[in-house]
Structure 1
Amino acid sequence: MPKELYFFIAFIAGSGIAVQSGANAQLRLLINNPLITALLSFLVGTFALIALVIATASRELPSWQVLTHIAWWKWLGGIMGAFYICSVVITAPKIGAANTLGFVMAGQLIFAVLFDHFGWLGFQAHAVSPMRLLGVALLLLGIFLVQKY
């Protein structure tokens, strides 16, 4: 696939995060419990993934032996996903979608640059450069302006 298609997919995923934040915040108003709201959101996502796996699985699922030999830290994605959903369900109704997602983006960008720089979590190392730092600073400035005005 061309790199531009991956850029587009990532952009659409970002728009989905905005939709997810609003939908989950509204769901929380009806459920009145952020943890149950997050659980319901994950259940819907789990059922959607089960249907997708059934519809598209072209090979066997991993064996129990493979699953039991996965390093503990490689399971953090699911835990961080649950933390993210709970956090957004709690913060979005209080500070709004733009503020919530602005701070989420700031955290994502800062830590993504660190992960790239040090090659953490299996990422290919990309050293921090003055231009990358300028890019981070400009994006953070943009987030600040959205928060402030």
Structure 2
Amino acid sequence: MNQYVLVVLAFVGGIFLAMQGGLNAHLGVILKNPLIASAVAFFSSLIFAFIFIVVSVRDVPSLSELKDVPVYLWFTGGLCSVIGVSLYYYTIPKLGIATMISLGLCGQLVFSLLAGQFGWLNLPTEPMTLKRIIGVVSMSIGIILITIK
């Protein structure tokens, strides 16, 4: 796939994540509990994911491929999702969506820089360069400017 198309898809994905954060944070306020909002969001996500699978997936994993998946991979991603998403839903109404998304992206960027440097999570290594460090520092300065009231 063309690199420009991938960039646009990533950008649009970020828009949808910010939208879902705002919408589900509002749901959490109405339900008076961000964990209930997370459960509702994940349940509806499950339904939509199954619909998309039925419509688009041609090759399903075999039973032996499923057995090869380490047990921890069946659960840890979901645990990280529940914690991260619930924290978003909890903090967006208190901090505002721009502040929360900015801080969340900063956390993602810092972690991804470290994970790339050291090859954490079985991902390919991406050396930490001066250019990347300048990018993180620049983003951090931007976040400070966004969050100062």
AA paired with 2:81?
G
Unmatched tracts of structure 1, length 5 or more: none
Task: Give the Cα separation in 2 of the matches to 1:4 and 1:11.
Answer: 11
Amino acid at match of 2:91: T
Q: 1:114 to 1:72 in 2, by over 3 A?
A: farther
Q: Which residue of 1 aligns with 2:84?
A: 84
Percent identity, aligned pairs only, is 26
1:21-100 equivalence runs, <5 A: 21-63=21-63, 65-75=64-74, 76-100=76-100
Report the equivalent of 1:136.
Answer: 136
- Which amino acid counterpart does residue 94 of structure 2 have in structure 1? K
**Helix, strand or coil for the counterpart of 1:83?**
helix
| TM-superposed deviation, 1:74 | 2.8
Partner-residue secondary structure (3-state), 1:60: coil
Over 3 Å counting, the alpha-carbon distance change for 1:51 and 1:114 in structure 2 is same
Q: Give the AA of the match of 2:23.
A: A
Shift of 1:28: 1.2
Per-residue Cα deviation, 1:96-138 (whole angstroms, up to 9, x for no partner): 1111111101110001111111111222212111111111111
Secondary structure of 2:128's counterpart equals coil
Separation in 2 of the partners of 1:105 and 1:48? 25
Give 4+ residue runs of structure 1 displaced > 4 Å after superposition: none
Quote the Cα distance in structure 1 between the aligned partners of 2:96 and 2:67: 41
Q: Does residue 5 of structure 1 match 2:5? A: yes
Quote the RMSD (CA, aligned, Å).
Answer: 1.5
Deviation at 1:62, TM superposition (A): 4.1
Report the residue type matching 1:84 in the other structure: G
**Residue 29 of structure 1, CA deviation:** 2.1
Q: Distance in 2 between matches of 1:40 and 1:62?
A: 30
Q: Which residue does the alignment assign to 2:123?
A: 123
5+ long unaligned stretches in structure 2: none
Q: How many residues align?
A: 148
